[in-house]
Amino acid sequence: MRIGELSELTNTSRRLLRYYEEQGLIVSDRCANGYRDYDPRFVDRVMQIRGLLDAGLPTRIIKQILPCLDKPRAIHFPDATPEMIATLERERDRMTERIAFLTRNRDAIAEYLEAVRVGAVPVPRKGES
């Protein structure tokens, strides 16, 4: 598929897709006319990259862990340095905190919507404003 189609399917700008390619996160073949041609499997790959970037991981770390996303879990990765492992542990913990925060917000919104639907005004919980 061409870059425009990948861009549309992943809701990712062409500029970002070219950047991902420069960073070695995705690859393309080149047609005779110079246009990029991407394998359809890169739709999922781009979505994974976007999710990891949204979670705060830098592209240098994403590049290192991408093989883990494609291979069985039993494979050993000899290039996993102590620094990389520490970075991933910090990012995992930060994501866990963010998930908890988002879960609390989602639950508060759901509670508010339920109260609005039945005509009641929600009472703020202790510590909330």
pLDDT digits (tens, 9 = 90+) for 82-108: 887 888 888 889 889 989 999 999 999
Domain boundaries, the chain: 1-72, 81-129
DSSP structure string for 109-125: HHHHHHHHHHTPPPPPP
Closest CA to 110 of 129, 102, 97, 54: 102
Q: Is-above-0.75 flag for pTM?
A: no
Which of the 8 DSSP states describes residue 25? S
Model confidence at 81, pLDDT cuts 50, 70, 90, reads confident
The mean pLDDT of the chain is 85
SS3 108: helix
Q: What gap in Å lies between CA 87 and CA 75, rounded to an integer?
A: 20
pLDDT of residue 16: 94
120 confidence band (pLDDT: 50, 70, 90): low
Integer angstrom CA distances of residue 118 from 73, 124, 129: 48, 17, 21
In this structure, CATH architecture of domain 1-72: Orthogonal Bundle (1.10)
- Give residues with Cβ within 8 angstroms of 65, minimum separation 6: 52, 57, 88
- Report whether pLDDT(27) > 70: yes
pLDDT digits (tens, 9 = 90+) for 10-25: 999 999 999 999 999 9
Mean pLDDT to the nearest integer, 104-115: 93
